[in-house]
Amino acid sequence: MTRHFLRDDDLTQAEQTSILDLAVQLKADRFAAKPLAGPQTVAVIFDKSSTRTRVSFAVGIADLGGVPLIISIESSQLGGKETPADTARVLERQVAAIVWRTFAQAGLEEMAAGTTVPVVNALSDDFHPCQLLADLLTIREHRGTLAGLTVTFLGDGASNMAQSYLLAGATAGMHVRVASPAHYAPMDSVVQSAREVASRTGGSIRLYTDAQEAVADADVVVTDTWVSMGKEIEKAERVSILGNYRVDARLMGLAKADALFLHCLPADRGFEVTAEVIDGPQSVIWDEAENRLHAQKALLVWLLQQQ
Ligand code: CP
């Protein structure tokens, strides 16, 4: 049966570990795997702007022996002109996999239900699971393990990054804390799914409104933009409500002395994080950005092996 990667808990803990192990191998020997030799084509569709995702998928597909076909929503029949299900049936006859950055998670689910090739979520309003594979790879590189570590996400708890941290962190057996105003709490259904996963992996899930309490003794501190794509009209309101969750040196000082700082980028220095933190010695953001390439290549290799 075709496997898709639409949300972080589509992988078991063992599967997530296998993909991260493979990512380490491909980082050490970048051209070792050529499952797309032919070359086969992978469709990479963008309904939203991107730098890291676009580059890392294009480069990664080429590294794997394939050809990336980058499609923007404006130049395709998606976006209300043709259904995801019909698009999927057209694409599956010609491409090896479909990677899609879009708005609604439901669109990805419709795309996946309509096709026999793997569909990968390259960011939706609800989840950013490819980013989490890169984040977990980065944390593992710097700490040697994932299970048992405490990771605190601060800011918009309803954002795709916060919700992916809940699911992916729980899958990895981490203790995941999300600190946000009540108004920006994660979806109940996501919290429930994360708690179910954590009960199997030894991880845990805790939600906070107090940023200082949430970050105390954390191994990893994470934030993301307060104004996710599609929320630009709410910027003034968000900046005013989320001010207490800014990651500055004082807040970072409450975490463990060697705590890592991660941010998926792009960043608004002075808003969700100060320059002294994101550009400081605890920040691993450049490793994190590079690891998009290695983690996504491993994911594609693994998904193609399941076919
Ligand atoms: N982190 C991330 O997804 O970056 P892009 O929006 O540039 O792809």
As a whole-number percent, the residues of the chain with pLDDT over 90 amount to 92
- Crossing angle, helix 285-305 and helix 13-28, to 10 degrees? 110
Ligand 1 centroid from CA 80, angstroms: 24
Ligand 1 centroid from CA 199, angstroms: 31
Q: Which atom of ligand 1 is nearest to the CA of 289?
A: 1
Ligand 1 centroid from CA 51, angstroms: 6
Q: What pLDDT does 153 receive?
A: 98
Residue nearest to atom 1 of ligand 1 (CA): 264
Q: Which atom of ligand 1 is nearest to the CA of 56?
A: 8
Q: Nearest-5° angle of CA 235, CA 236, CA 241?
A: 95
From residue 211, alpha-carbon distances to 168, 208, 247 in Å are: 21, 7, 9
By C-alpha distance, which of 62, 75, 74 is closest to 30? 62
Q: Which atom of ligand 1 is nearest to the CA of 128?
A: 3
One-letter amino acid of 4: H
Number of other residues whose CB lies within 10 A of the CB of residue 94: 11
Q: What pLDDT does 230 receive?
A: 82
Residue nearest to atom 3 of ligand 1 (CA): 53
Q: What pLDDT does 232 receive?
A: 87
Catalytic residues: 101, 128, 131, 224, 264, 292
Rg of the chain on CA atoms, in Å:
19
Ligand 1 centroid from CA 200, angstroms: 31
Could you tell me the two tokens for 159?
A: 């954002």
Ligand 1: residues within 6 Å at CB?
A: 50-53, 123, 131, 264-265
> What pLDDT tens digit does each residue of the chain (307 aa) get?
899 999 999 999 999 999 999 999 999 999 999 999 999 999 999 999 999 999 999 999 999 999 999 999 988 999 888 999 999 999 999 999 999 999 999 999 999 998 999 999 999 999 999 999 999 999 999 999 999 999 999 999 999 999 999 999 999 999 999 999 999 999 999 999 999 999 999 999 999 999 999 999 999 999 999 988 888 888 888 999 999 999 999 999 999 999 999 999 999 999 999 999 999 999 999 999 999 999 999 999 999 999 8
Ligand 1 centroid from CA 271, angstroms: 18
Q: What pLDDT does 80 receive?
A: 83
Asked if 260 and 143 count as a contact pair (C-beta separation under 8 A), the reply is yes
Q: What pLDDT does 69 receive?
A: 98
Contacts of 290 (CB under 8 A, 6+ apart): none
Could you tell me the two tokens for 1?
A: 């049966």
Q: Which atom of ligand 1 is nearest to the CA of 48?
A: 6
Asked if 170 and 203 count as a contact pair (C-beta separation under 8 A), the reply is yes
Contacts of 153 (CB under 8 A, 6+ apart): 161, 162, 165, 176, 177, 178, 179, 222, 223, 224
Residue nearest to atom 6 of ligand 1 (CA): 50
